[in-house]
Amino acid sequence: MCFNATASMCAFLIGVVFSAILFARKQYFYSVFSFNIAIIQLLEFFVHISLKTKNYTMNKISAMLIMFVIFIQPITYSLLLYFIPPEGASFSNPQWKHMFIWLAIMSFINFLCYFIYLYQNNKFHIGYLNKCSNVCRLDWSFMTSNWIFTWIYIFFYFILFYNARFHVKSSITNNFQNFFMYTLVAAFIYIFIIDKVKNLGTVVTSFGSLWCFISVFYAMFIAFFVNNKN
């Protein structure tokens, strides 16, 4: 979807605009987390620019920041739920706060080890998934540098979100809690059908598609369908 620098910047700006709307409506939880998602597209914008201008330093720094932002997304989500939860939120796991502390610590240890490994082995790089003309799909190649670290990294990403699952009175909002998973499925379909990717490793490295979808639709969907009490 975000197939060049312009598309990435547009996705980022859409995410920022709707995040600002949510903030103005005092839906702080959704606003801050939406921005945390949209920032990935700003970083991918710089990746596109770095590849076009052959700026290796910009590419490396962008890859580092992408890895860091994705690491903090579920942690940010959990902290927002702790400090500024949606009104009337009830949690599926009553012990989620205690679990969060231990999961966050283990996730940080893996992230730090993974980051150091990638840095020391000069693996922080993002290239193109396909032959680039007008459509330039990005390939997060650093994600397949060490499969043990990668799968642990992905595991903690999703388990932290799962640990902090919650419900509110609004059925629309409750259904929306599954929107992330729906978008994940949509990204998989897009990668397999549009990009015609068959290799599992390439599927993992092309996950920029996921954040492009969510950056555009996450805050927009909430702004239209979730009222300011939820």
Q: Model confidence over 57-87: pLDDT tens digits?
A: 999 999 999 999 999 999 999 999 999 988 7
Confidence band for 31, pLDDT divided at 50, 70 and 90? very high
Which uninterrupted H or E stretch holds 90? strand 90-91
Query: What percentage of the chain exceeds 90 in pLDDT?
Result: 49
The pLDDT of 167-172, averaged and rounded, is 66
Q: Is the pLDDT of residue 205 over 60?
A: no
93 in a structural domain: yes
Residue 53 lies in a domain: yes
> What does R_g of the chain's alpha carbons equal in angstroms?
18
pLDDT average, residue stretch 173-194 = 61
Polymer length in residues for the chain:
230
Asked whether residue 161 is domain-assigned, the answer is yes
Residue 128 pairs with which residues in a beta bridge? 138
Cβ(77)–Cβ(160) below 8 Å: yes
Eight-class DSSP state of 54? T
Tokens of 214: 């969510």
Instruction: List all residues 6 or more positions away from 57 whose beta carbon is below 8 Å from its beta carbon.
Output: none
What band does 167 get if pLDDT is binned at 50, 70 and 90? confident
180 located within any domain: yes
The pLDDT value given to residue 223: 84
DSSP secondary structure code for residue 167 in this structure? E
Record the tokens describing residue 173, joined without a space: 């909002």
Give the pLDDT confidence score for residue 182 in this predicted structure. 64
| pLDDT, averaged across the chain | 83
**Contacting residues for 78 by C-beta, under 8 A, at least 6 apart:** 96, 100, 104, 160, 163, 164
End-to-end Cα distance, the chain: 30
More confident residue, 123 or 167: 123
Mean pLDDT in residue range 176-184: 61
Q: Domain residues for 199? A: 5-225
Q: How far apart are CA 172 and CA 230, in angstroms?
A: 10
The number of distinct structural domains making up the chain is 1
Sign of CA dihedral 210, 188, 104, 110: negative
With bands split at pLDDT 50, 70 and 90, how would you rate the model's confidence at 45?
very high
Q: Does residue 230 belong to any structural domain of this protein? A: no
Is 120 part of any domain?
A: yes
